[in-house]
A and B are shown apart, each in its own frame.
Chain A
Amino acid sequence: MRRMATPIVTGLLGALLATTAQAENLRMSWWGGDARHAQTQAALDYCGPKLGHTVAAEFTGWSGHQERITTQIAGRTEADIMQINWPWLPLFSADGSGFVDLRAHADVLDLSQFSDAQLAGGEMNGVLNGIPVSTTGRVYMFNKTTFDKAGLAVPTTWDEVIAAAPVLREKLGADVYPFEAAGLNAIFLVSMAVTQATGKDLIDPATNTVAWTPEELLEGIRFYQSLVEAGAIRDWRQVAGEGNIELFEMRAWAEGKIAGTYEWDSAYAKYADPLGASQELVPVKMLQIDGAVTEATYAKPSMLFSISRNSKAPKAAAEVINCLLNDPEAIEILSDSRGVPASKVAFDRLSEKDLINPNVAAANGIVLAGTGPVVSSFNEHPRVREAFADYLENIAYGQISAEDAAEGIIDDINRALRQFQ
């Protein structure tokens, strides 16, 4: 009996070791707001001991995170597990070799919880470089409390946004605005207007050049200018007066004086938290310009979890990712801190336990139900963003005409993307 037991125990241990990594010291990096930081740390406190690993947390705000990751990757000091933004994939891993192939660790990472389409979003050159945490998109969110105070309904059309501006000023004060769009949001707003009017994304996927004509882009810029002129949004100069900070960090936002924005659905908590319990932030369906041919929903795979190609313990890292995305306990801890989860088991668990914030679920529902052309990742290429932002800022400061800016934006973006054409 004893003779038989030894090989059986040895065999079982061997099988166990073959699929389970040894205790490892890992690092995980991500960006986010306070809620995400706290929930992710709590989830790691659960997953680490459960798997027998220690996981050091490295988290920052969004601003500067890409530069930090870039520096770490260049110096091969990046964390084992990284939260990666979808548009970064072609920058860090053009041929698919920039991150670990997650399919190589499918024995510990349950990929069956994700659809083929979701996994395709994390592939580069056929290699699964990242596992999508959620699908995200830009959604309009309004501070319902502010509109209630002024006796207004939350806007569902641009005409209502424009009509709300004088009412808010009159009833709540001269420094109250129904919406905010400068910097990045100005780019999104102009893009939304052009895409709604034309049905085309900024980038033509067949040629990787700008799909819009200067005239089409000009109309989008004019739409943005009309919002400024109507007092529906603060002008660029006013927003710059706040310094280099994001909207959710501004006092005007926290006090409900800026009552609307166009943000990622997964960032709902980041914008809702500063409002406190006394104010309610609600997502609304895509606002449309007159004559829109599509909603122009800007949807994309949200952040991905990737494993460093320099990680000494990729299997252990894959185990931790699996725990974060598919373990019932970790799912509940993380909840909707990264939006509505892409993992089926996570979505079912959170829905069953009623743990998805109804507003986050509603925001994600708007994104998933939205219509519009496929969004090219080049929309978020740093040079594309820079060209767009520089010209829009120059218009706002009266340095250039909208006509010249439309021509300039297209020329500069085409120049920036020449290497991909």
Chain B
Amino acid sequence: MESRYLGLAYLAPYIIGLLVFTMIPFLGSLYLSFTDYNLINAPVWSGLANFTDLTTDRTFKRSLNVTLLYVFLTVPIKLAFALLIAVILNYRLRAIGFFRTAYYVPSILGGSIAVAVLWRYIFADAGLVNLVLTSIGLEPVNWFGDPVNALFTITLLRTWQFGSAMVIFLAALQAVDKSLYEAAAIEGAGKWASFWHITLPLITPVIFFNLIMQMVQAFQEFNGPYVITGGGPLKSTYLLPLYIYDEAFKNFNMGYASAIAWVLFIIIMVLTVVAFWSSKKWVYYAGDKRS
């Protein structure tokens, strides 16, 4: 095989997978969003009807608000926590390899149904968390039955999966030039000042990368609320992916579900563009001339 085709051959499995499992469903959902499609019979073209219906759909508005709240809560908390742990693991500690692995493991397991089920038992009324609280003399908390607590519990599950963001932060921290810290120390800078004025600016590209990745993932959260709370109580954890799922597979309204999915996609795109636009003001790359 000619060498120019060899690269394509290596890429083929990925490209075929991308086309079959991502691009075709992606474009298919765009078409379906303009149709009335009940999954059993052929789709019927309905123009913009699904999108105009969204403007008066109370459940959609409620779900959108909950989703935005969830994303704006989860992403900063998770990034801050991942960075904190990365900074700690950047020190030369005994058995540091073990701790790095141990902290990374939840991000591998965290999205699974099994862990969501475990989470449900941990935070149940008679679960481990309430057992600990009562053993130290505190009142048990109704984690899933209270709308505010329920969203917080789901947020915690996502935050617990900080491993992948943490590993990326760790790599970035290790790439910071040590001579900068030495120079700062000579000038009398303490650890906090060094972190604030040297570390943080130099890892802003990685913070930016993690921000985008985590935001996109958070908008697509499904397993946690589906398994743990079923979207309740009072739809306080009824994120848009759950609404899409219910419309598509419970109410046989695939056209409407596709329209919601596209609105969600547009929201993610807009926020990503805003993040890119704002990055000019706070992300510093090597060789940046800004003072």
Interface residues of A (CB under 8 A from B): 66-67, 70-71, 73-74, 91-92, 94, 98, 236-245, 251-252, 382-383, 390, 393-394, 397, 399
Q: Once the chains are docked, how many angstroms separate the CA of A236 from the CA of B124?
A: 14
Q: Once the chains are docked, how many angstroms separate the CA of A115 from the CA of B66?
A: 51
| 0/1 interface trace, chain B 217-257, chain A, CB 8 Å (1 if under) | 00000000011111011110000000001000111101000
| B232 engages A73 (CB within 8 Å) | no
Q: Once the chains are docked, how many angstroms separate the CA of A71 from the CA of B250?
A: 10
Contacts of A238 in B (CB 8 A): 125, 142, 145
Contact among B40, B143, B232, B251 for A393, CB-based, below 8 A: B232
Q: Once the chains are docked, how many angstroms separate the CA of A390 from the CA of B145?
A: 15
A92-B40, A242-B125, A243-B144 known; A237 and B250 CB under 8 Å?
no
| Shortest beta-carbon distance from A309 to chain B in Å | 11
B123 within 8 A of A: yes
Q: How many residues of B contact A (CB 8 A)?
A: 30
B120 within 8 A of A: yes
Interface residues of B (CB under 8 A from A): 39-40, 120-121, 123-126, 142-147, 150, 226-230, 232-235, 245, 249-252, 254
| A244 engages B234 (CB within 8 Å) | no
A92-B40, A393-B234 known; A244 and B120 CB under 8 Å?
yes
Given A66-B249, A393-B234; 9 other pairs, CB 8 A cutoff: A70-B249, A70-B252, A92-B40, A94-B40, A237-B142, A242-B124, A244-B120, A244-B228, A393-B232
Contacts of B145 in A (CB 8 A): 236-241
- Find the residue from B121, B143, B245, B249 having the highest chain A CB count within 10 A: B249
Q: Once the chains are docked, how many angstroms separate the CA of A244 from the CA of B123?
A: 12
Q: Once the chains are docked, how many angstroms separate the CA of A241 from the CA of B143?
A: 6
| Shortest beta-carbon distance from A93 to chain B in Å | 8
| A251 engages B126 (CB within 8 Å) | yes
| A67 engages B250 (CB within 8 Å) | yes
Q: Once the chains are docked, how many angstroms separate the CA of A239 from the CA of B133?
A: 20
| A74 engages B39 (CB within 8 Å) | yes
Contacts of A92 in B (CB 8 A): 40
Contacts of A239 in B (CB 8 A): 145
Contacts of A94 in B (CB 8 A): 40
Q: Once the chains are docked, how many angstroms separate the CA of A366 from the CA of B146?
A: 38
| B229 engages A382 (CB within 8 Å) | no
| A243 engages B123 (CB within 8 Å) | yes
A70-B39, A92-B40 known; A240 and B249 CB under 8 Å?
no
| A67 engages B249 (CB within 8 Å) | yes
Contacts of A241 in B (CB 8 A): 124-125, 142-145
Contacts of A244 in B (CB 8 A): 120, 144, 226-230, 232
Contacts of A390 in B (CB 8 A): 235
| B142 engages A245 (CB within 8 Å) | no
| B232 engages A91 (CB within 8 Å) | no
Contacts of A393 in B (CB 8 A): 232-234
Which chain B residue lies CB-closest to A396? B233
Contacts of B230 in A (CB 8 A): 244
A98-B40, A238-B142, A242-B144 known; A397 and B125 CB under 8 Å?
no
Q: Once the chains are docked, how many angstroms separate the CA of A367 from the CA of B117?
A: 35
| Shortest beta-carbon distance from A239 to chain B in Å | 7
A66-B250, A70-B252 known; A240 and B39 CB under 8 Å?
no
Chain A to chain B contacts (Cβ below 8 Å), 30 pairs = A66-B249, A67-B249, A67-B250, A70-B39, A70-B249, A73-B40, A74-B40, A74-B254, A91-B252, A237-B145, A237-B146, A238-B145, A240-B232, A241-B124, A241-B143, A241-B144, A241-B145, A243-B120, A243-B123, A244-B144, A244-B226, A244-B227, A244-B232, A251-B126, A252-B126, A382-B250, A393-B233, A393-B234, A397-B234, A399-B234
| Shortest beta-carbon distance from A88 to chain B in Å | 10
Q: Once the chains are docked, how many angstroms separate the CA of A67 from the CA of B124?
A: 26
Q: Once the chains are docked, how many angstroms separate the CA of A252 from the CA of B235?
A: 25
Q: Once the chains are docked, how many angstroms separate the CA of A390 from the CA of B232?
A: 10
Q: Once the chains are docked, how many angstroms separate the CA of A74 from the CA of B40?
A: 6
| B227 engages A237 (CB within 8 Å) | no
Q: Once the chains are docked, how many angstroms separate the CA of A399 from the CA of B233?
A: 12
| B228 engages A243 (CB within 8 Å) | yes
| B251 engages A382 (CB within 8 Å) | yes
